[in-house]
Structure 1
Amino acid sequence: MANSNHTSAGAWAKHYHLASRAMIERILRPYDLGSTQWYVLYQLANCGPTLQREFPQILQIERPALSDVIAALVRKGFVTQEADASDRRQRLLSLTKAGEELWAELPDPISMILNIAFEGVDESTLETVITVLRTATERLNNHVFQGVQK
Structure 2
Amino acid sequence: MSDPTEEPESVGTWAKRYYFANRSAVDAVLRQHGIGSTQWAVLYELAARGPITQRELGRALHVEKASLSGVVSTLVRKGLVDQAPSTADQRQRIVQLTGAGQAAWDSLPDPFAEVRATALAGIAPGDLATAVDVLRRATEQVENHHFGD
TM-score, normalised with respect to structure 1: 0.86
Identity of aligned residues (%): 43
- Structure 1: distance between partners of 2:144 and 2:65: 22
- The CA RMSD measured in Å over matched residues stands at 1.9
Q: Specify which of 84, 88, 97 is matched with residue 86 of structure 1.
A: 88
Within the alignment, does 1:122 sit opposite 2:113 as a pair?
no
CA distance in 1, matches of 2:87, 2:141: 39
Question: How many angstroms does 1:107 deviate by?
Answer: 1.2
Match of 1:51 in 2: 53
What residue in structure 2 maps to residue 35 of structure 1?
37
Q: Would the alpha carbon gap of residues 85 and 131 (structure 1) be closer, same or farther in structure 2, given more than 3 Å must change?
A: farther
Structure 2 residue corresponding to 1:100, chosen from 92, 99, 102: 102
Aligned length: 145
| TM superposition score normalised by structure 2 | 0.86
- Post-superposition offset of 1:12: 0.4
Query: Tell me, what secondary structure is at the counterpart of 1:82?
Result: strand
Q: 1:34-62: per-residue Cα shift (whole Å, max 9, x none)?
A: 11010111111122222211233322222
Query: Which residue among 84, 87, 111 is the counterpart of 1:109?
Result: 111
CA pair 47-32 structure 1, distance change in 2 beyond 3 A: same
